[in-house]
Structure 1
Amino acid sequence: MFSFSGQTNFCGRRCVWVNGPVIVGAGPSGLAVSACLKEQCIPFVVIERADCIASLWQKRTYDRLKLHLPKKFCQLPKLPFPEDYPEYPTKKQFITYLENYAQKFDIKPQFNECVQSAKYDEACQLWRVVTVSTSGSETEYICQMLVVATGENAEGVVPEIDGLEEFSGEVIHAKDYKSGQKYTGKKVLVVGCGNSGMELSLDLSNHNAKPSMVVRSSVHVLPREIMGKSTFDLAMMLMKWLPLWLVDKILLMLTWFILGNIQKYGVKRPSLGPLELKNHYGKTPVLDIGALEKIRSGEIKVVPGIKRFNSNSVELVNGERLDIDSVVLATGYCSNVPFWLQETEFFAKNGFPKTPFPNGWKGKRGLYASGFTRRGLAGASADALKISQDIGKVWNEELKQKKKKVHTHRRCISTF
């Protein structure tokens, strides 16, 4: 698939020439691109900083996690989920699916290699990707095409909150939360009210902890299912026939009948509809799986924004003071692309492609982005198909040119 030169450059790095693209990231996005390239017999190298595929799923997700959308919207190209999987596969089932996916397509990433920099060499018209392994050795991969597949959620976001460093209890990010079992009987402040914040609060309550959830801004909360049908599936079906704004109106009306007025519990709705908000700003609506019932009963307490932390308490913007034992920061994730990719034409400072969906998968000079559409696994799969098809065209064109040159060379020799 690739060739080791067996040489080191003046920096002491091992240099590797890659015949095909280098894919950075062995999560679902990187695996999907790899599988599609494998089917076309195009060589590639996958670089992964962790020691396993899908490290976000394997090491930085909570135990009770399930896919939020039906499995038909979450499967990767070329391989559907097993028929005996439930409509919403568990974390363990999804990891097993990904491991089987990598095995089926014989995808073998270069594990424990963290990309330090990736830069296009104008003089050579090649990409130079420098990695450092866990042992400290450096490798420089040289290639014509680079696929960025590190995803939207590569790093946890830890906001600066006044007094947080003074708090004497445990403070963790949601990526390090596994289960509410160890928090039984404790007062836990969950900062954030997205899908993670809601689910962690529910899990804490189920383990007899006393969670308080900070709801600083407005958020759409929708039922996961409406009349036995996935809310997402229903929205996709309606969008085939109706404008986006009307679909939003219908969803909100149905949500009102099912969930009631949730604003009286301290959860305010945005002025934009859930689909419009997602399309324009990438903000995903919360799909409720039981947290609202706990909020209504008072088992999950909704509180406003934080003013500051003290050694064993938190002061809220409304003047209320809460004694707490632990803090879980469900404050989201971000892309890490700006930290290693030395390119500013295609990728913005926030680590996402500047070109809006659906054209944010391809840049210039053989640069591609997979999994940055803010449309989950379905978006990553769509990117993978487009990227592999485009690389396939380039690859086949280059093969034709090489064959043409060889044919011309042989003809010249025979004439001579």
Structure 2
Amino acid sequence: MFSLSDTRRCVWVNGPVIVGAGPSGLAVAAGLKEQGVPFVILERADCIASLWQKRTYDRLTLHLPKQFCQLPKFPFPDHYPEYPNKKQVIEYLESYAKHFDINPQFNETVESAKYDEACKLWSVETVSPSGCKVEYICQWLVVATGENAERVVPEIEGLENFGGEVIHACDYKSGENFRGKSVVVVGCGNSGMEVCLDLCNHDAKPSMVVRSSVHLLPREVFGKSTFELAMFMLKWLPLWLVDNILLVLAWMILGNTEKYGLKRPSVGPLELKNTLGKTPVLDIGALEKIKSREIKVVLGIKKFSCGMVEFVNGEKLEIDTVVMATGYRSNVPSWLQESEFFSENGFPKTPFPNGWKGKEGLYAVGFTRRGLSGASADAMKIAQDIGKVWNEDLNKKNRKSLHIEDAFDILIGGPRIF
């Protein structure tokens, strides 16, 4: 390491630079530790897994059983429930980092990363809240910022004139502060459904905007995880048939959801997930609130005005708050100066399971649209790939060093004894 000025430093990294200290980045780091490869992990927040720690609601639990969400080489504790809650997940991730002795560089936001063809190295530039700039030079770059780096907020006519509170779901913590209030929740994914359920449980009056079709599945079928059941069936049956079986089971358990305003897509839930990355909603109680009209389903917003929203069917409703459960997006295009491996939407152009490795030492983890299980699979591949090159280079250097020592022994007339 050498200093260029009081506010700018240049750091040589022997191994890779990992951008992002969420579960994906931690998984890669743990794999590299086992391979004996040094690394630097950069994180813009002041903690690991900032999405879980700072941008999730209090009632959040894993939607899938814990065995499908654990990171490599370190399972969830046996005493944890099948669906760990937010606090337990954070404790697990912190224990993971401690177990593998992973110590990220916090409060360092990556401003740019580019590959230098002449030097055959990556240059990663960061800035801290104090304005200190650091340039990291490395042979490998692992992009682990994931699918949910930045919130998505759609433009809706009149929203600037609404006057009430407008928040994104990442800033929603609990319905406690919304008792007795009328709240419009824009979005009907897992987050939108859970926020509405939480609002109901705190005596608020939510209206959920369903702008498109959605697959609603029971979280469990006959006491077994729906996801686990689907994974088991896929070992023996084609995807289209598994999709049809899931839809029949959903109809048997949940009934006809379309009569409540929840129209199903024409494409099956697993096929839709594989092709467009759209996750089916696993119901944990919101549907009963919809059936009882405690959660009002509306088909779309035409415009906002002062203290009021007008829906596409002409109905108007006085409201206090708007919660945008409108999802997230990748932020890779804003800082990575590369266009061959990543597309304009910030995802690898090559789909899973082959979207983890690019050229010139570039890797991606956490972009599979398959949750933590997909991230873990890619993390292990990346660590093994880098570890193989690292250890091959290390062996070459050791052999070269031995050859030099042998030549020195000949020059001085025999082996050296110290």
TM-score for both structures, normalised by structure 1? 0.97
Question: Which residue, 323, 333, 338 being the options, matches 1:338?
Answer: 333
* Partner in structure 2 of residue 366 of structure 1: 361
* Partner in structure 2 of residue 144 of structure 1: 139
Q: What pairs with 1:54-65 in structure 2 (closer than 5 Å)? A: 54-65=49-60
* Partner in structure 2 of residue 321 of structure 1: 316
| Identical pairs, percent | 74
Cα separation, 2, equivalents of 1:206 and 1:109 = 38
Deviation, structure 1 residue 92: 0.2
Question: Which residue, 3, 8, 14 being the options, matches 1:7?
Answer: 3
* Partner in structure 2 of residue 177 of structure 1: 172
Cα separation, 2, equivalents of 1:79 and 1:332 = 29
- Checking the alignment, whether the CA contact within 8 Å between 2:36 and 2:387 is kept in structure 1 is no
Structure 1 counterpart of 2:349, one-letter code: K
1:116 partner SS: strand
Cα separation, 1, equivalents of 2:103 and 2:277 = 32
* Partner in structure 2 of residue 196 of structure 1: 191
Question: Which residue, 301, 305, 308 being the options, matches 1:310?
Answer: 305
Residue 214, structure 1, aligned to residue 209, structure 2: yes
1:246 partner SS: helix
* Partner in structure 2 of residue 94 of structure 1: 89
Residue 155, structure 1, aligned to residue 154, structure 2: no
- Checking the alignment, whether the CA contact within 8 Å between 2:35 and 2:384 is kept in structure 1 is no
Structure 2 counterpart of 1:292, one-letter code: L
Q: What pairs with 1:12-411 in structure 2 (closer than 5 Å)? A: 13-411=8-406
Runs of 4+ off more than 2 Å: 403-416
Cα separation, 2, equivalents of 1:356 and 1:202 = 34
1:50 partner SS: coil
Cα separation, 2, equivalents of 1:151 and 1:172 = 22
Deviations 1:369-397 (A, max 9, x none): 01100000001110111000101111011
Deviation, structure 1 residue 345: 0.6
The unaligned stretches of length 5 or more in structure 1 are none
Structure 2 counterpart of 1:120, one-letter code: Y
Structure 1 counterpart of 2:323, one-letter code: V
Structure 2 counterpart of 1:273, one-letter code: G
Deviation, structure 1 residue 408: 3.7
Cα separation, 1, equivalents of 2:397 and 2:160 = 61
Structure 2 counterpart of 1:50, one-letter code: A
1:120 partner SS: strand
Structure 1 counterpart of 2:298, one-letter code: V
Structure 2 counterpart of 1:287, one-letter code: L
2:130 partner SS: coil
Cα separation, 2, equivalents of 1:303 and 1:409 = 77
Deviations 1:121-174 (A, max 9, x none): 111110000000111100000000010001100111011111111101000000
Q: For this pair of structures, how many residues does the alignment match?
A: 411
Cα separation, 2, equivalents of 1:329 and 1:91 = 21
Cα separation, 1, equivalents of 2:266 and 2:407 = 72
Structure 1 counterpart of 2:270, one-letter code: L
2:135 partner SS: strand
Structure 2 counterpart of 1:227, one-letter code: F
- Checking the alignment, whether the CA contact within 8 Å between 2:7 and 2:131 is kept in structure 1 is no
Deviation, structure 1 residue 413: 4.5
Deviation, structure 1 residue 318: 1.1
Deviations 1:13-56 (A, max 9, x none): 20100000000000000011111111111100110000000000
Cα separation, 2, equivalents of 1:414 and 1:344 = 52
Structure 2 counterpart of 1:8, one-letter code: L
1:151 partner SS: coil
Deviation, structure 1 residue 319: 1.0
Cα separation, 2, equivalents of 1:412 and 1:169 = 80
1:258 partner SS: helix
Deviation, structure 1 residue 316: 1.0
RMSD: 1.1
